[in-house]
Structure 1
Amino acid sequence: MVTLQLKQLSVPPGQRIILTDVNWSKFEDILQELGEKRASRVAYYQNQLEIRMPLPEHEFNKEIIGDMGKILLEELEVDRECYGSTTFKRKDMAAGIEPDNCFYIQNYRLMIGKRRLDLTVDPPPDLAIEVDVTSKTQLSAYEALGVPELWQFSQGSLRINLLEAGEYIESSFSPTFPDFPLIEGVSQFVQMSLTQGSSAALRAFRKWVRERIDR
């Protein structure tokens, strides 16, 4: 049997590798070997491990959509705790995921000051954001961990998924922000950022939010 070390594997930007028959102990060892300061993201579900390397476009989109989420919460004066791309995992669910961004909103009080998470005790994020999700491994991990709301942004469009009976169902609105047409709005301002820059797009997005609040 041939044994490879992770440092021998190279994942080009925009690509992913999938490793099968990875038990939980091996998954933990791989996370430790990869370390925390890295560009790659991992997803794990039922002995299948996916390691992906984002493109610059991916990183731009996840940042600006995350900023939009923060603007919405700030303008609505809703408290939150942001946990970015923290690794969320549960051994009993055989699942692990690293979101592009995520927020504790309904459960933010429980997370104040928390720097080490245990999902057998702590709740999963209330809202997670993923850009260019095409993998069943990723979606299955989110479903297993019980993340109630997942935003997927791909090819210029936002999809809102809500967890119902353990599976994601596509929704036309976000229950976290029910008064905002986010599917149209997020796409509109991401598109604006491509021609006018992210700062101008985010200022315009904040104005758009305030106008809807003042109605």
Structure 2
Amino acid sequence: MLLELQQVIVKPGQQMLLKDISWQQLENILEELGEKRAARVSYSNGWLELMVPLPEHEKDKEIIGDLVKILLEELDIDFEPLGSTTLKNELMKQAVEPDACFYIKNCAAVIGKKHIDLNIIPPPDLAIEIDITSRTYFDNYEMLGVPELWRYTQNGLQINLLEQGKYIEANFSPNFPNIPIIELVNEYVQQTLNVGRSQAIRAFKNWIKNNL
């Protein structure tokens, strides 16, 4: 007996792994799950992972995404934020949904696009993963060619840059040169926990005003 996807329940903070999933099955699953689903999807060579984040995961995702947007706006840099858009490449049999992603240098390539097909357009310049309750596997992002991947864990922000097809850890962000982005993200995410989002964002804007 085949199970319907709607019969499958994945609790927050848990993951489900399915094997031998074809590309067409993946497309059908994404369509059935819909755009406003709680579960996030990662697919690689027939393996499909479904994960439902915990509330603390979502809070970190939102604040880090807000910090990036504010910084880009204050620097007067054009960008397109695509959130958890599904990044897909059928030829490579890869698909992944970051917690957040940004087109910066290549922002013109996605203006007006409703679906992101990496067979046709370049990958996002920056992807962000929150690894509070799970661990990001780099393979998808490496194969899709995402040049910069941020991982935020309980130990803080880690920046990974793609070099010759593999990620290496770095202490700077090419998208924010000469800005101590690791220290800033770590400090203001912590401030959000201590004093709340509004005060932390105001303090971050003051830092920008006084230092940039």
TM-score, length basis structure 2: 0.95
Measure how far apart 1:21 and its partner are: 1.4
Aligned residues of 1:73 and 1:80 also touching (Cα < 8 A): yes
Measure how far apart 1:156 and its partner are: 4.6
Give, in whole Å, the separation in 2 of the partners of 1:27 and 1:112. 25
Give, in whole Å, the separation in 2 of the partners of 1:179 and 1:210. 15
Quote the residue 1:165 is aligned against.
164
Determine if the alignment matches structure 1 residue 204 to structure 2 residue 189. Answer: no
Q: Which amino acid aligns with 2:15?
A: R
Give, in whole Å, the separation in 2 of the partners of 1:117 and 1:195. 37
Quote the residue 1:134 is aligned against.
135
Give, in whole Å, the separation in 1 of the partners of 2:184 and 2:85. 27
Quote the residue 2:26 is aligned against.
27
Give, in whole Å, the separation in 2 of the partners of 1:135 and 1:108. 25
Aligned residues of 2:85 and 2:116 also touching (Cα < 8 A): no
Quote the residue 2:7 is aligned against.
8
The 5 A counterparts of 1:51-70 are: 51-70=50-69
Instruction: Encode CA deviations 1:118-137: one digit per residue, 9 max, x unaligned.
Output: 2111111110111015143x
Q: Secondary structure at the match of 1:102?
A: strand
Aligned residues of 1:23 and 1:47 also touching (Cα < 8 A): yes
Give, in whole Å, the separation in 1 of the partners of 2:50 and 2:180. 33
Give, in whole Å, the separation in 1 of the partners of 2:142 and 2:36. 26
Aligned residues of 1:85 and 1:101 also touching (Cα < 8 A): yes
Q: Secondary structure at the match of 2:192?
A: helix
The 5 A counterparts of 1:1-215 are: 2-132=1-131, 134-136=135-137, 139-213=138-212
Q: Which amino acid aligns with 2:113?
A: K
Instruction: Encode CA deviations 1:164-189: one digit per residue, 9 max, x unaligned.
Output: 11111111110111211111211111
Provide runs of 4+ in structure 1 moved above 6 Å: none
Moved more, 115-124 or 57-66: 115-124
Aligned residues of 1:156 and 1:190 also touching (Cα < 8 A): no
Q: Secondary structure at the match of 2:50?
A: strand
Give, in whole Å, the separation in 2 of the partners of 1:22 and 1:205. 44
Give, in whole Å, the separation in 1 of the partners of 2:93 and 2:63. 31
Instruction: Encode CA deviations 1:56-106: one digit per residue, 9 max, x unaligned.
Output: 100000000000000110111111011111111011011001111111100
Structure 1 unaligned blocks of 5 or more: none
Measure how far apart 1:112 and its partner are: 2.0
Count of aligned pairs? 210
Give, in whole Å, the separation in 1 of the partners of 2:208 and 2:47. 41
TM-score, length basis structure 1: 0.94
Identity of aligned residues (%): 54
Q: Secondary structure at the match of 2:91?
A: helix
Instruction: Encode CA deviations 1:15-57: one digit per residue, 9 max, x unaligned.
Output: 1111111121211111111111111100001111110000010
